Structure 1
């Protein structure tokens, strides 16, 4: 079950990133985190930039609204989407993750 928490006018959640994949995709749930594959390598912040841009594009929000709060040099990242509630985030992620439950 993926936990989505509303904080400071946005929704906060954890991502498990898998860099150097053949394509960028939202894969599923891993230990309470959203698992995504990223085509970019974890060099010179490329994977972090792609992580934010890819999630923004997939969820249909501006890339400036998606930020990494912690985990810049880790595969486990804490992200926020500004101006979004937990219920809305669960709905948008649910379009990509059919069998994943969300804890709001």
Structure 2
């Protein structure tokens, strides 16, 4: 397997994560790769922004960030989303290692 994570990028001091979300799942968890994105099964309905709120809160927990530092910057009404972790440059390598583990167990 490749160690290249096209879905994780460092942009200045921010980290961008390309995700594909499956809302309404039984549990929230990583679900491997989906094209050029990482797939996440999300236990939240896609109604009134609840899925986006649940997604950012879950990702903040996964990568030990404050909720306020995690935003959906593209694709708020789509399953394909770009998530921005503000000022997360110091966490980039740890995020990369976590995602590599997920990718390689897929």
Please indicate the TM-score interval, normalised by the length of the shorter structure.
0.7 to 0.9
TM (normalized to structure 2)?
A: 0.83
Q: Which residue of 2 aligns with 1:75?
A: 79
* Pair 1:10 & 2:14 matched: yes
Give distance in 2, aligned partners of 1:84 and 1:5: 11
Give distance in 1, aligned partners of 2:16 and 2:27: 25
- Listed one character per residue, the Cα deviations across residues 30-58 of structure 1 (whole Å, up to 9, x for unaligned) are 11111001111100000000010011111
- Classify 1:62/1:93 alpha carbon distance in 2 versus 1 (closer, same or farther; 3 Å): farther
Native 8 Å contact 1:67 1:79 kept in 2: yes
TM (normalized to structure 1)?
A: 0.84
Aligned runs of 1:1-104 on 2, under 5 Å?
2-3=5-6, 4-85=8-89, 86-95=92-101, 97-99=102-104
The alignment partner of 2:26 has SS state of: coil
The alignment partner of 2:104 has SS state of: coil
Q: Structure 1 segments of 4 or more deviating over 6 A?
A: none
Native 8 Å contact 1:2 1:34 kept in 2: no
Flag the structure with more relative contact order, 1 or 2, with Cα contacts below 8 A and sequence separation at least 6. Answer: 1
Structure with greater proportional helix content: 2
- Classify 1:93/1:63 alpha carbon distance in 2 versus 1 (closer, same or farther; 3 Å): farther
> Structure 2: which 5+ runs fail to align?
none
After superposition, the CA RMSD in angstroms is: 1.7
| Number of corresponding residues | 99
